[in-house]
Amino acid sequence: MSEEKEAQSSSGTKNALELVRVDGVSFKYDAGPNVLEEISLTIQAGDFLALLGPNGSGKTTLVKLILGLLKPLAGNVFIKGRPVEEFEEWPKIGYVPQKATHVDPFFPASVREVVAMALFSRRGASLKKSKEEEKAIATALQSVGMEDFMGRPVSRLSGGQQQRVFIARAIVHSPELLILDEPTAGVDAVTQERFYEMLYQLNKQRAITILLVTHDIGVVTMHVNKVACVNQRLTYHGTHEDFCQSEAFKAMLAAGHLVSHRH
């Protein structure tokens, strides 16, 4: 890991603003077993946190609880110090869902329209975009290297390109926190590598805090500064350096829950 990343890591842990606090959260779906039990963790401003865990471990559920899409059975979630149910600054949170690239091939949305959706999600009747709004769309697409695809139908892009467009949609508001749920599923290794590098640049250059749900150990060793491991309970939460020496890491590796692409 570079010195720059280490410096960022230490500043992120020492004097950072707490963006997310998950406090003793438990959850289950209807009459099923507990999916999550007493999860507590924090995300500080500037963090690039990887959320790891085997399939069905509750990672996506935890993300949905943080976003207020599900209500915890016990415990609380706070975003920027406010209970999630009272939080209203949703444009400050960018989100790329797990199956974002499963685009309906008949949906006639252009790249520009997909990015504009998030920008205008709280706006009323006007269909005309202002110059500032056009610029915000162009800047977001530029950040992910998709500025030349503005007029293209999003359904005709490759999986990797679609993923970039969804990230542009998530960052068009200049969010403080970007949450990505397994964004590289189904994307080839080379594209994944470029993709993670792009996330690292967003974290470093635009100071966007990132929560990344992934199975990819390569990301953990190369790009993130914090790791949280979930398997119904929180099995690890700390820096990535300590994680690589931890029992949680060895257990996940032995069980084959982590994969490594070219990094």
Residues that bind other proteins (CB under 8 A): 67, 69, 88, 90-91, 93, 95-97, 100, 104, 106-110, 112-114, 116-118, 120-125, 127, 151-153, 166, 169-170, 179
Q: How far is the CB of 152 from other proteins (least distance, A)?
A: 8
Of the pair 16, 109, the CB lying nearest other proteins is at 109
Q: Do the beta carbons of residue 250 and residue 220 sit within 8 Å?
A: no
SS3 235: strand
Residue nearer to other proteins on the CB measure, 123 or 250 = 123
Q: How far is the CB of 35 from other proteins (least distance, A)?
A: 17
CB of 43 to other proteins, least distance (A): 16
Q: Which pairing describes strands 233-239 and 226-231: parallel, antiparallel, or unpaired?
A: antiparallel
Which residue, 107 or 188, has its beta carbon nearer to other proteins? 107
Of the two residues 4 and 104, which places its CB atom closer to other proteins in the complex? 104
Mark out the alpha helices in the chain (DSSP H runs).
3-14, 59-66, 111-119, 131-143, 159-171, 189-205, 217-222, 240-245, 247-254
CB of residue 212 vs other proteins: minimum separation in angstroms? 16
Residue among 54 and 153 whose Cβ is closer to other proteins = 153
Are 154 and 114 a contacting pair, CB within 8 Å?
yes
Smallest distance, other proteins to C-beta of residue 158, A:
17
Nearer to other proteins, 39 or 179 (CB): 179
Please list, in sequence order, all residues whose beta carbon lies within 8 angstroms of the beta carbon of residue 49, skipping any fewer than 6 positions away.
Answer: 43, 209, 210, 211, 212, 224, 225, 226, 227, 228
Least distance from C-beta 45 to other proteins, angstroms?
Answer: 19
Q: Please spell the DSSP secondary structure of 75-142, one letter per residue.
A: EEEEETTEETTT---GGGEEEE-TTTT---TT---BHHHHHHHHHTTT--S--SPPHHHHHHHHHHHH
